[in-house]
Amino acid sequence: MELFHNHGTRSMRTRRILGVAALTASIALVATGCAGGGSDSGSTSGSGGGGDQTITFIPKQLNNPYTDVVLGGGEEGAKAAGFASSQVVGPLDASASSQVSFINAETQAGTNVIVIAANDPDAVCSSLEEARTGGAKIVAFDSDTNPDCRDVFISQVVAKDVALIQTKLISEQIGGSGEIAILSATANATNQNEWIKFMEEDLKANYPDIKLVATVYGDDDDTKSFQEAQGLLQAHPNLKGIISPTTVGIAATARYLSTSDYKGKVALTGLGLPNEMRPFVKDDTVKAFALWDPAQLGYVAAFAGKALADGTITGEVGDKFDAGDLGEKEVTDGGIVIVGPPTTFTKDNIDDYDF
């Protein structure tokens, strides 16, 4: 019996001692470790400001085919412009606030140029302000932030041109009259809503016989967009055309149409990636759609960032900077830099493009 007692108390005592030891050790280690780390970080951030400039791209979300092309151009541009390192970080979901912690991390990392496609023009503002206070230059691309929180905005095309080419394409395809619907990305996306606004105005002014019966949101999610397309056709039996000004939406809708009875009867146009849309153009589900070369967007954004970081431009109207292979670009009203006009893709020219 005595044996058991001894055994019990001994294990209890060793455990207690172990526990105290573990706690003291961990506290001591954290205290010393952090102190050491602190002095380290002081010295690196001090030297970082000198020669090597860094650039970080923050897209709306990762793993989006369109974004990947834009970022590919961005990385190429960053290399050509002479940045020491370029990074891509970003959230997995395109929600309003998800980008903020990435901006904060970049602020802390002392990045010189942050290139961002904002999920919400205002939600990212205060953290971008903080980054600017820390000395970073902010370039918005693809989807603008509140103009107060960035230095320049790189827009591929004038928003109105993007809208007008889509209304023109749908009108051509449905013969100028009938019901159409819009399948957009998220309900709050800055660029989407601007295009939709221009499309509504243009339809009212120039295409009185075309009636916009619904605007639905696929949240740039393939499955959701597919279901929304399905829902549109069920809810509106007289629907003659769909405009999807987003690459995810148009691909999902095309996939639905190509396997349904509506193939060839309901027209589809919008903004799509040639590589994703090629099979649907070849099988006549889609006659024509539009887009710009997204890689150029990232490319120009990188050069704009370089010019800002070097101090050669400040983002004032009329500032000009060299954008490598794409020649000289100028900052226009509202701090916007326009890259080029949209291209229309059809069966005849789609094989000339690879992105």
Partner 1 sequence: MSETVTAPPPTGTISALAPKKRSRAARLLLGRDAIMIYALLVFVLYACISIPRFASPVTVGFLLLDVIPVLLIAMPMTLVIITGEIDLSVASIAGLTSALMGVLWQAGLDMPLVLAISVAAGVVAGAFNGFLIAVVGLPSLAVTIGTLALFRGLALVVIGDNAVANFPPDLTAFFTSKIGGTGIPTVMIGVLIVMVFFGVLLHFTPFGRGLYALGYSKEAARFVGIKVARSKFWLYVATGSVSALAGVYWTLRYSSARSDNASGLELAVIAAVLLGGVSIFGGKGSIPGVIAGVLLIGTINYALRLGRVSDVVLIIVTGTLLILSVVTPSIFASVRRWQHDRQVRNSLPQVTTSGSTRAEHPAH
Shortest spacing between CB 350 and partner 1, in angstroms: 31
Nearer CB in complex with partner 1: 22/317:
22
Shortest spacing between CB 102 and partner 1, in angstroms: 6
Shortest spacing between CB 298 and partner 1, in angstroms: 18
Chain centroid to Cα 334, Å, comes to 21
Contacts of 216 (CB under 8 A, 6+ apart): 181, 182, 183, 184, 228, 231, 232
Shortest spacing between CB 337 and partner 1, in angstroms: 24
Contacts of 40 (CB under 8 A, 6+ apart): none
Distance between CA atoms of residues 69 and 9, nearest Å: 67
Shortest spacing between CB 1 and partner 1, in angstroms: 6
| DSSP track, 98-132 | TTHHHHHHHHHHT-SEEEE--SSTTTTHHHHHHHH
Shortest spacing between CB 186 and partner 1, in angstroms: 8
Shortest spacing between CB 218 and partner 1, in angstroms: 13
Token pair, residue 74, equals 């961005």
Enter the DSSP assignment of 135.
Answer: T
Distances (CA, A) of 209 to 110, 164, 204: 55, 16, 9
| DSSP track, 137-184 | EEEEESS---GGG-SEEEESS-HHHHHHHHHHHHHHHHTT-EEEEEEE
Distance between CA atoms of residues 112 and 93, nearest Å: 25
Distance between CA atoms of residues 134 and 192, nearest Å: 31
Nearer CB in complex with partner 1: 80/105:
105
Shortest spacing between CB 262 and partner 1, in angstroms: 27
Distances (CA, A) of 220 to 29, 134, 145, 228: 46, 33, 19, 11
Q: Are 67 and 88 in contact (CB under 8 A)?
A: no
Binding site for partner 1 (CB under 8 A): 1, 4-5, 7-8, 12, 15-16, 18-20, 22-23, 26-27, 29-30, 33-38, 40-41, 44-45, 62-63, 87, 89-93, 95-97, 100-102, 104-105, 107-110, 120-123, 125-126, 146, 186-188, 193, 217
Q: Are 270 and 192 in contact (CB under 8 A)?
A: no
Nearer CB in complex with partner 1: 93/351:
93
Nearer CB in complex with partner 1: 185/301:
185
Shortest spacing between CB 345 and partner 1, in angstroms: 29
Shortest spacing between CB 293 and partner 1, in angstroms: 26
Nearer CB in complex with partner 1: 2/328:
2
Nearer CB in complex with partner 1: 122/172:
122
Contacts of 103 (CB under 8 A, 6+ apart): 58, 114, 116, 124, 127, 128, 130, 131
Nearer CB in complex with partner 1: 161/194:
194
Q: Are 352 and 66 in contact (CB under 8 A)?
A: no
Total count of residues recorded for the chain: 355
Nearer CB in complex with partner 1: 221/293:
221
Token pair, residue 202, equals 């243009």
